[in-house]
Structure 1
Amino acid sequence: MEESVEALRRLAEHCVNSAGKPDVQDTTTQGLLILLKIKEESRRLAFTAEDQREETSRFKTRLEQAHLQLQNLLYEKEYYEKEIHECQSFQFKHPDSAIGLVPVEQFLATASPEVLARIGDDPHTLMLEQLRDELTQRKAQVAKLEELRKVKAATRQEVDTRKRTLDALQQQLQGLEDSAKPLQTILAPHLSLRGFARSADLLPLPLYIVYSQLAAVREALGLPIRVAILGSSVEAESFAKAQTLDPTDAAMDGGSGMTASVEGAAAAAEPAVKQARLSPALPGLSGGAQGATASGAGTSASSSSEDLYKVHPLSVLLEVQRENNGRLQTIISVKFQYLVNLRLVTAHSDMRDDNLLLAALFPGDDGSATAYESLAQLQGGTFKYDTSRPAKPYRWCQHLAGLDFAPPLPLATQLHNSTGQGQLDASSVVLEGLDSYRRQQRAIHVIERLRAVKTGDEALK
C-alpha cells in the first residue's frame, strides 16, 4: 500500500517535472493501474480490519463470560463460607451448659446394662441417652415441686387466716384500750408523758434531763410552757452510732471534780439508763443518785477550736407562755444545746434582747465559763470560752441539766479574800498564781510521771 502511494507520487512528479510533452496515454494508464492497486490494497485492509474486529469481539465475549463466571464463583465461595461460619457458630436454644447434664462418667456409672449396650461407641446415642435420663429425672423433680407448691399454698392460707385473727384481736385490744382511757385518766391524771417525743431517746443525757424535767413540770403543775426537740433524728442516730465511750476517758472523767446532781430524776430513771449508752458525756451519772461524779470537759488539749465547740445534732426548745385574751402567747424562747467535746449545756435565744435577759437571769452568771476549772485546763491552761458566741454555758444551765462543777478555789478562801478592800491585792496574787499553775500543767506532769514509773516497774517484773 505504501509502495503504490510512493509510485503514484513519483509518477505525478515526473509529469510535472517533464521538460517535453509527456505521453499522456502511458501516464494515464500507469496512474490508473496504480490507483487500482491502491484500491485493492485498501479493500484488502478493510477486510483484514473487519476480521480483526470480529475476532476481538469474540475474545471480548469470552472475557466477559469468564469474568461473569469468576464473579459467580466468588459469590458462591462467599455464600459457602458464610454458611460454614454460621454452622460453626450456631447457638443451640438449650446449650449443654444451660441444660446442666451430669458428667459422662457419672452417667455411665449409674446407667443400666441395657442402656450401655444401646450406646456402644456411638457418641450421638450417648447424648440421646443422657438427654432421656435427664428428662426422666426432671419430670420427677417437677412433680415434687408441684407437691411443695400445694403445701406452700396451704401454709400461706393458714397464715392468712391466723393473720386475720390477729388483726381482729388487735382491733379488740384497741377498743379495750380506748375503753380503759377514762379509768386511766381517773387513776393517773398526769401520766401523759407517756407520749413524749420519740427522738428523746437520742438526746444526750444532760439534754434528756432538761427535756424530761421541763415536760414533767408542765404535766404535773400545768405551767404554761412548751417543750420540744429540734434537729434531725437521722443525724442524731448516726452521731450516736459513731460515738464510743473510751474507758480511759471515763477514768479521767471520774476525777475531774464535776458532780451531777439530778433532783427528781426518779421519774426519768429508765430513759436515763438508756441515754448512758448513747451519750459520750457523763458516764457516771445515775438517774436515782444525787451528787454522782461526772466530767464537764474531758477533751484533749490538742483539739481544734471547731472540735471543741462541736454541737449535738438535737437540741431542746423551751417556750415560756402566758395567756392573752384566752390564747397562749410565747413571751420568751430558750434553746438548749449540748457541746459534745466540752460537755457543757448552753442556752441562747433568737432575740438579742432575750439573750441579755438570760445573761442577767442570776447574779454573777454571765455565761463566760470562768468558774469551770476543767475548762481552764484545756489548751495548756490558756483556754478561754469564746464569749462572742450567742450560746453561752450559764451555770444555771448546768444546774438544770444536773451538772455541778467544783470551784477552782475553796469557798472559804474566796470569802476570806473578799471580806475587805485591803485583801484585794492578796486575792489578785492568788488568782495569778492559780493561772500560772494551770499553764505549768503540774497535775498532768505528775499523772504522766506516775504512769511512766508504774509502767516501768511492771516491765521490770
Structure 2
Amino acid sequence: MEVTMAEHGETLPEHKLDTAALYDTLRQSKASVEEAVAKMLAIKKEARPKSQLRELATQILLNFVTLRQANGSILLEEDSVKAETERAKASVELATLQLQSLLYEKNHQIKAIKACKDLDTKYPDIELVPQEEFFRDAPAEIKDSLISKDSEQNLMLKRLNFEMYQRKELCKHRKKLEQRKKALQETVSHRKKFLSSLPSHLKSLKKASLPVQQQLGVSHMKKLKQQQLAELLPPPLYVIYSQLLTLKETFGENIDLELIGSVKDAQGIACQLANKSTGISTKSEDSNSGDVPDGEDEGQRSKRLKNSSRRENLDQSGIYEAHPLKIALHINDDVAVDSNSKELIVLEFEYLKKLNVVCVGVKDSEDPENNILCNLFSDDNGLELPRQSAKLMIGDCNSFQERRTSRPYKWAQHLAGIDFLPELAPLFKVSETSNDETARNAAILSSLSLYHQQNRVQTIVQRMRARIKARIKA
C-alpha cells in the first residue's frame, strides 16, 4: 500500500495524517494515566478500599501498552520517511554531478573561444580605410605597384602600405605641432612672468606719481576707493554723503569727508539686500504693561524703574544697532583755505537700521551734557525721535537715550532725505489762539523757512563753524 501511494505522489500526506493520529493517541493515553494516578492518590488519602486501586492500576497498564504500540508505530514511520529521504537525496546528488559536468564543459568551451580570438594572424586587426578612399587618396606609386600575383592579396598589401604612409605623415605633423606647442608655452611663460612682475611695477609707478598728485591736488586712488565704499552706504547716509561731496567739490567748502567702519559687514548687508528686496521692518510693542500703583510717589518711582529697565532691554535687543559704515565730516576753519587749515570739529553721521533715523555726534565726545550740536536750530535737542514709528518701537520711554552723544536731530533727517509729518499740525496752536489769516500765513512761511535752512548742508556747516568759533572766543 505504501509503494502504491508513493508512486502516485500521495505518500507524504498519508504519513502526515497517520503521524498526527498516533500523536493524538499518545496524548490521550498520557492524560488517562495522569488521571488514574490522581485518582489513586485521592483514594489513598481518603482510605478507600484497595479494590478500586486495582482497577486503576489495570487501566494504567493498558494505557502503557497503548503508549508502547503508538511509539513503535511512530518509530517505524520515521524509518520509512528516512528511507524515502535517502532515495530523494541520491537523485539530487546525481543532478548536482550532472550540473558540475555541464559547468566544466562550459568553461572549457569559453577558454577555447578566447584562445581562438587571441590567436595572432599574419595581418593583425588593422582598421584600414575603405577601398573607395584608398583609390581616391592613395599616391600613384602605391596604387600602381605590383607586390603579389594574387589580386586580393596585392590589394591588401597596397592598402597596408597606404596605411603606413598615412601614419608616417601623421608622425611628421605631430612633431611640427609639438614644436609649435613648445614655442607657445615659452611665450606664455614669458608673459606670465611679466604679468607676475606687473603689480610691483604698478606699485612703484603709483608711488612715483604720488608727488605729482599731491602737487596738483588730485588724489585719484583715494577718491576711487571712497566712491566704492559710498556704494555700500544705506540710502539716507548716501544722500548726506553726496550733498557734502557736492558742497566740497562745487562750492569749494573747506571740509573733508571720510567713510569709516567695517567694510566686510557692510558688504554682507548689501548681499542680503540684493538677495531679498524687503524693507526695514518695524515692530510695535505694547506700552501699557504692569500693575497700577496706589500712591503717586510709588507710581512715579515704579515708572522710572520700568523706563530704565526697558532702556536696558532695548539696548540688548539691538534697537540702537547702527549700520557698520559711518560718515566722518571734518569741518576746517574757513579763514585759511590751504591744506594746513585748522580742523575745528569732526562730526560722525550714523544710521540706525531698526529705527530708520540718522544720528549725528561729535567724534570722541563722551560728555552728553556739553553737546555742541544741541539746539543748533530751535527746539531740536536731539532727544525727541522725529518718527512716530520709532516712538512706537521704543514704547514707554519714547525719548532718545540722554547718555548717547549721537542723537537723531531733525536737521540730520532733512539732510538725509527722510521727510516726516509732524505729530501736530503747524497751524493748530495758531488756530486756537487767533483766527487771523495773516498769523496763519506767517506761521506757514516760518515753518517753510526753517525746513529750507535745515535742508541745506551749507547752512549746517556755517552754523557749526560759527558756534565753534564763538565757544573758542568765549
Identify whether the pair has TM-score above 0.5, normalized to the shorter chain. no
- The TM-score, its normalising length taken from structure 2, stands at 0.39
